[in-house]
Amino acid sequence: MEVIKITGCKRLKGTIEIGGAKNSAVSLVPAAILSDTVKITNVPNISDINALTQILEYLGVSVQKDKNEMIINSDNLENKPITLEQSKKLRASCYFMGALLGKYKHAEMYFPGGCSIGERPIDLHLSGFEQLGAKVKLVDGKYIVDAEKLVGADINLRFASVGATINILLASVLAEGKTIIRNAAREPEVGNVIDLLNNMGAKITGKDTSVLQIEGVKELKGGEIAVIPDRIEAGTYIIAGVMTGENLKIANVIPEHFSGLTKVLKEMGADIKIYNDYVIVNKVPHLKAVDIVTEPYPGFPTDLQQPITSLLTQADGESTVTENIYENRFQNVPYLVQMGADIKVQGRMIKIKGPIKLTGGEVVTTDLRAGAALILAALAADGETTIKEIKHVLRGYENIINKLRAVGGEISLEDV
Ligand code: UD1
């Protein structure tokens, strides 16, 4: 069994380079099958991309990977049902539903997997497909989505869902006529997908706004896109810097993409200097408690809620975190409490009293960002921490051990 071992209280100094955004890359890869050849650069080396590559290869798609570049050629694509095992491996498998439906007017797959952080239904995706003219059947757990033809529609999302926005985009770019997505997600990852689709010949306007207009086109050609920097990876290391950094530089970032985080950190009194494409972070002796509420972009991202909870254990006074997006995203809390934190869960809110000296121990990762949160806590804790079930972390953080080690973290991957 592989575990991460961390000896805490080392100051992090130097530079951490941020890679391509996981949540962009996992949408761009399925989007690529809408045309013949697509080149994607700045792809992070994470296990979620490997899982998608396996699905592509199963469908007969040729994938050339070289470091952070992928060339995807779909000339020999065969529209087969995506298996239960493939569907369950990750949430982003669901993007094959939109892409296959858009291209072939038919898709078959099972309910997608992903971190267990709440119910995570796909009703908005399916309702979007239905409004475009598809029929959805659920047979023995498998979704069969089929359309004689797809026709543009005016779709109003009940919630600004990232997944539903992207999936409806994928299904509508080749539909007849015009589609409007209202209350669309404005996350930068959606914009990255729009840029790729437009590079491929799609006609989508309204990027970065909550109303997207898609003028259907007859076919898409090859295209190229660079994955945007990962704002959640950046945010995680920025928080690490606030906890234990000494002139820690987080490079290759788009600071505007994590303004929800930096606003909160400034309110706490953190020492964070923001430049064009990098930030510099220093630990300060005292931080103020804050109240955080997770919201769709550009609000405070749910994906940084667990990581910042580790930091809040170090702030003076009582902080609160209200999780508005997912109902079960506090699974890191019992382990933080085991490490000494004073945290009470009250429904969708947690109350954190600090500052508390954290102590290392043996903890378990339950989901991707819970894992990041435990790594941050361990970096600031006295003594050694062993973190189990690290597969969750490796799904979404490229090279996390080497990146932290290179800036002075005492962290290693061990087989025990
Ligand atoms: C994506 C991200 C995830 C991030 C989340 C919110 C990927 C692969 N994952 O997940 O890291 O935490 O955005 O920023 O990009 N909902 C419904 N019905 C639906 C779809 C969603 O009720 O059909 C609800 C969800 O249960 C949740 C909320 O909408 O409460 C947000 O979900 P959504 O934005 O769709 O998240 P994902 O795309 O799954």
pLDDT bin (cut points 50, 70, 90) of residue 115 is confident
Identify the residue whose tokens are 């009703």. 123
Q: Are 237 and 248 in contact (CB under 8 A)?
A: yes
**Average of pLDDT values for 215-227?**
97
Ligand 1 centroid from CA 294, angstroms: 13
Best mutation site among 159, 303, 327 for ligand 1 pocket (most ligand atoms within 8 Å of CB): 159
* Mean pLDDT for the chain overall: 97
Amino acid identity, position 367: D
Tokens of 34: 């809408």
Best CA proximity match to 100, nearest among 123, 64, 129: 129
Binding site membership of 303 for ligand 1 (Cβ less than 6 Å): yes
Cβ neighbours, 10 Å, residue 128: 26
Q: Are 76 and 61 in contact (CB under 8 A)?
A: yes
Confidence (pLDDT) at 390:
95
HSE value, Cβ hemisphere, 13 Å, CA-based, for 47: 12
As a whole-number percent, the residues of the chain with pLDDT over 70 amount to 100
| Each residue's pLDDT tens digit, 147-188 | 999 999 999 999 999 999 999 999 999 999 999 999 999 999
Cα(248)–Cα(270) distance, rounded to whole angstroms?
Answer: 13
Cβ neighbours, 10 Å, residue 215: 15
Confidence (pLDDT) at 96:
98
Confidence (pLDDT) at 398:
96
Give yes or no for residue 118 having a pLDDT over 90: no
Confidence (pLDDT) at 400:
97
Binding site membership of 125 for ligand 1 (Cβ less than 6 Å): yes
Coil, helix or strand for 59? Answer: coil
Ligand 1 centroid from CA 135, angstroms: 23
Domains of the chain, earliest start first: 2-19+229-415 (3.65.10.10), 22-226 (3.65.10.10)
pLDDT bin (cut points 50, 70, 90) of residue 117 is confident
Binding site membership of 225 for ligand 1 (Cβ less than 6 Å): no
Best mutation site among 28, 48, 115, 161 for ligand 1 pocket (most ligand atoms within 8 Å of CB): 161
Cα(162)–Cα(43) distance, rounded to whole angstroms?
Answer: 19
Cα(357)–Cα(314) distance, rounded to whole angstroms?
Answer: 8
**Minimum-distance ligand 1 atom for the alpha carbon of 120:** 26
As a whole-number percent, the residues of the chain with pLDDT over 90 amount to 97
Q: Which residue's CA is the closest to the ligand 1 atom numbered 12?
A: 303
Binding site membership of 95 for ligand 1 (Cβ less than 6 Å): no
Best CA proximity match to 255, nearest among 281, 236, 229: 229
| pTM of the model as a whole | 0.97
Cα(210)–Cα(208) distance, rounded to whole angstroms?
Answer: 7
Best mutation site among 158, 162, 257, 395 for ligand 1 pocket (most ligand atoms within 8 Å of CB): 162
Backbone angles phi, psi at 393, to 5 degrees: -70, -40
**SS3 sequence, 75-108?**
CCCCCCCCCHHHHHHCHHHHHHHHHHHHHHCEEE
| Each residue's pLDDT tens digit, 322-380 | 999 998 899 999 999 999 999 999 999 999 999 999 999 999 999 999 999 999 999 99
Best CA proximity match to 325, nearest among 365, 292, 352, 289: 292
Binding site membership of 191 for ligand 1 (Cβ less than 6 Å): no
Confidence (pLDDT) at 328:
85
| Each residue's pLDDT tens digit, 79-114 | 999 999 999 999 999 999 999 999 999 999 999 998
Cα(322)–Cα(304) distance, rounded to whole angstroms?
Answer: 12
Ligand 1 centroid from CA 15, angstroms: 31
Cα(225)–Cα(28) distance, rounded to whole angstroms?
Answer: 8
Best CA proximity match to 260, nearest among 305, 214, 301: 301
What is the dihedral angle through the alpha carbons of 161, 398, 271, 334, rounded to the nearest 10 degrees? 70
Confidence (pLDDT) at 108:
98
Ligand 1 centroid from CA 257, angstroms: 18
Ligand 1 centroid from CA 296, angstroms: 9
**Minimum-distance ligand 1 atom for the alpha carbon of 325:** 30
Coil, helix or strand for 402? Answer: helix
| Each residue's pLDDT tens digit, 265-313 | 999 999 999 999 999 999 999 999 999 999 999 999 999 999 999 999 9
Would residue 115 show up in a list of annotated catalytic residues for this protein?
Answer: yes
Q: Are 385 and 361 in contact (CB under 8 A)?
A: yes
- Which of the residues 115, 166, 169, 339 is marked catalytic? 115
Cβ neighbours, 10 Å, residue 1: 8
Binding site membership of 395 for ligand 1 (Cβ less than 6 Å): no
Confidence (pLDDT) at 403:
98
What is the dihedral angle through the alpha carbons of 45, 47, 48, 50, rounded to the nearest 10 degrees? 80
Ligand 1 centroid from CA 163, angstroms: 6
pLDDT bin (cut points 50, 70, 90) of residue 232 is very high
| Each residue's pLDDT tens digit, 384-395 | 999 999 999 999
